[in-house]
Amino acid sequence: MQSPSHPLEPFFHQAVRNSYEGALGLHDPEVTSYIARLLCEFSESDKLYKLRDEMGRPVAELRRMFEAADPVNGTAASFDAERSMRKHIGDYSMFVAGMYPEAVEPWRRNRRHHPSLDELIAAGKESYYIVSQFNLFEYEQEAPLFARLSDGFERCIFGLTMVRDELGRRKPLMLAPGNN
């Protein structure tokens, strides 16, 4: 096993494994590791909206993310760029649906083009499916993982919701007075 690349990875890996394997019965180490790394990546706020428009501003709307990922009519400069953007759309959709379900509540969707849960699921599944179709050369090894993420998208969201709930139940670590 490779060493963690992010200081939170062991923490998130354990939380994801507890929910995915323990509660859901999903025994797929590749999926577990991928989701843990996804949580690490999005723990840094600038990574959630890493797609940029022509002016360099973050793209925060799902519709505009799809437009940007189009290699023919959008801003994706190549099919590799499309794959990268589609991977991000899948990651974004899974993260928001699983970790921030309040973001898809009906009252919020009417403001600033927030997608519904059904839209996030469709976007994530489609995007991961497209990423899985990049199955040659340097992407050959990763393609099956993205096919499984696409097929099990709803289950992965449910697992992330359990991770979120578990993290919410944990008491914050506090130093005793005078020990800081």
Tens of pLDDT, residue by residue over 68-91, are: 888 888 778 888 999 999 999 999
* 3-class secondary-structure state, position 30: helix
- The structure's pTM equals 0.87
Contact 34, 9 (CB under 8 A): no
Enter the tokens of residue 122. Answer: 């469709």
CA dist 2 and 54 (Å) reads 37
Closest CA to 159 of 21, 59, 14, 67: 21
Q: Over 60: is that where the pLDDT of 111 sits?
A: no
Contact 150, 128 (CB under 8 A): yes
* Average pLDDT for 131-154: 97
pLDDT given for residue 179 in this prediction: 45
What is the tens place of the pLDDT at every residue in 157-175? 999 999 999 988 875 554 4
Q: Over 60: is that where the pLDDT of 150 sits?
A: yes
What is the tens place of the pLDDT at every residue in 13-33? 999 999 999 999 999 999 999
Q: What are the distances in angstroms from CA 96 to CA 36, 53, 105, 133, 143?
A: 15, 21, 12, 24, 23
